[in-house]
Structure 1
């Protein structure tokens, strides 16, 4: 999933030859799940048509303060405040000069001057124009104000010269903006290892020991962590949960407790934060039949062996990892959760109670209590698992900071 998904972008297009690239830029923003509002300077119409950009953005393109046919006012203040980010591309020498000197002789510039959010600008001009001291001074003024420069490329220019001044390619602009946003996220460059779902312990080729875990909680945590900039590895037992639009999450599917143990320990030492949300089976059959067991007897005994306690093993070898466990309890909830936290050397534990309506397996909601190894405790009301995931990650972040 892109960190731009759901973001509102105002794209200001000015009158330079590089404006022809903005059709691809709009398309890329739309593919990232953005809402794109295009504003063009009057001279930009010489290089690309509003119809093209309107078709791609699925919104009317604005140029004038008032619409000629209806007289309707295009409110530059509302346009600016509506956006999460403003992107000026191409930013010509003329427009850069006006931005730096706070001129507002068209709708695009008036919108820029009304912006309170982050502004990115991608210069596009000939080599000597870009190197001109006054242009460089204007760029520095904009950067000092807080606007973000998307550096131009070196290459063939419209004049036929070779050099710096060519606007960054649309893909480069998108990558630059996404990387900038990621750096502002609370888990930027943090590696998170998350487990989810049940484990199935085979009895014979068609039967297994399992539980009712849907995996939804673990998957929501993985999605929320990715949105917050983390590098996420998700080890999941059998589940129908999907990760559509979250292609950067590394998903590893396993079946049994032993398989989960192997994959978790394989990634453990290189991980910053480990969140063990899976419902791992405590026992497995002592022997697994290679053929389907027939129901010949009136009663049937199945000897069980204890599985490795993955969380306990991780706690024993913990170095710098922040280790989070889950406790699903039916009685003496907080007492049992604290015992588990201390016994397994956890930093934090997330407690759910099967006594709470709407919490536990198979629900889209959950009600949690968070306890930590410093005596801290937080209570949360019943919420969607998406919101619960956000709260868990924010709680982890607060504890890592201190």
Structure 2
């Protein structure tokens, strides 16, 4: 089975300020320990996804850094967007590139900034999704929920389908998706968990190039026409000029809202491979080693008489947290963040305020 992994590496990662910056967004940080998230995403793909068929989509600001980080990928496999336009145009552009090589090629669209603790189980689920995609489905990987999480979107599971993960491997279940569900409140999330018929939406999709381009044309005809213009120039000297002219005019909308929620081809493979979207500093205890009282302490950081804290010191200066619980303290050298763990999603508000004040030197 030939799978073309496409890693979406265009995010800004503002919820990880002050570690993340415009020139060094979240996917370039080693938030889960070891390698940066982007490098770890690529490293977990073989042997299912080979380097010569793996693509990375990013912006011009990060293209050089991405190529330097991933020398094993061919230079032509880096797809550079002229500007950020969310995931629907990103998916469409990637599908054009894969279709130019293999019109019915199977794409696996992968966020660059997630953590996966069990790569073998991840590849098994991805292969099952690819088998569904070969038959014309738009497959997604749904994560079996382990808690009433309010920070994720959900999938409502429908009738059961059949899927195999590969030669000699165990059968994985697959289902139709009845609907996509927005991030719930705490009571609704608890009901979803008790119901058992809901999965977390991982944002990982698998589909054939021709199928997703058809679905985009049906659900978003304007974007479909714009992609057709870019596709007509692909492989010609006019490509770069056409991309710079057309792509910024594409609607800025997610593939979930723009296409997936309107499609009747959606299937889901439920999986459990230690997935985290590493959505904020509050998620680091889920993907990093902690001490006996649940603290993450990195660099010259220490916690005394405190529980469930995230403390990061990056500039050689000691950072001490004494007698408090459930806080995030990050010293990036030129900027310091202090917040409650339950407000870690709101770090982006600090970035918005610093932007309003014109503090570009710390952004």
Which TM-score applies when normalising by structure 2? Answer: 0.25
Q: State the structure with bigger RCO (CA 8 A, min sep 6), 1 or 2.
A: 2
Bigger Rg, which one:
1
